[in-house]
Amino acid sequence: MNRIFNLCLLVLLSSNYVFSQNNLGPRLSAMGMNGAAVKDLWSLEGNPSGITDIKSSSLAINYSKFLFDSELSKQALAFVIPFKNNYVGASFQRYGISEYNEIKGGIALAKRFGDKLSIALKGNYHQIKINNYGATTGFSIDVGAMYDYNEVLTFGASINNPSKQKFSTKAVEAIIPTTVQIGAAYKASSKILIATSISKDLDKPIDVGLGLEYKVVELISLRAGLTAKPFKQYVGFGLNYKKLMMDIVVESDPYLGYTPQIALAYAF
């Protein structure tokens, strides 16, 4: 167990918070972690009502590498099946190293009401395991909604763990965060999408995110964003070829340095 891991573990145990964040995928991450009102497959980990824009069954895999540590990484998977105005989604993510890891899995149900309103509910299973310290599990729910005000403006809001569920044992002291986020997405043109969001973990400062997506051509999209607390910068791009999509982002964190992330998705 190296020195960096010991430091991370100390921060984890002293702050009583799960260290990793929800994996919003490279597209939403590149746009300043804007998952409140931007519709995407990885909305499963942000505002699950955002999956209601998916036209066919889709599967995506994701990998993030924390460059400050040779072993620390995050892997994730997302899958959505649409049928009429109903949508079923499943997500899984793992974060950590051999001595310490977090696992989160969830099932989401979303429904579109007419052409404007979408509502979703998601149930999550959480697990934390630390060698020589033990393991603990917990459950939580997420709720979310999006409203298409018109063809260019969408509003969204979601709450993660509104009932403030906790882990089942005291073997590992950690809390499942309760987070509220609201946001808006504005389609300035057929090529430009602007998104902003405000999020609040009940025990942390308010965070603000701002992001931009520019579709150069049908095949290529460029993205950039930032968040305020802590100040982070994001830059990425996406390739969309027929049913296959690839998205890449690099996150600049003042404490953890650069974190690249890549995802591959396929629409059946």
Q: What is the pLDDT of residues 6-54, one digit of tens each?
A: 445 434 443 444 545 678 999 999 999 999 999 999 999 989 999 999 9
Q: pTM for this structure? A: 0.88
3-state secondary structure 238-254: EEEECCEEEEEEEEEEC
pLDDT at 10 (0 to 100): 38
- Residues whose CB falls within 8 Å of the CB of residue 142, separated by 6 or more in sequence, listed in order: 48, 106, 108, 120, 121, 122, 124, 158, 159, 160, 161
pLDDT for 154-203, tens place per residue? 999 999 999 888 887 766 667 888 999 999 999 999 999 999 999 999 88
Predicted local distance difference test score (pLDDT) of residue 66: 81
pLDDT tens for residues 80-106? 999 988 999 999 999 888 888 899 999
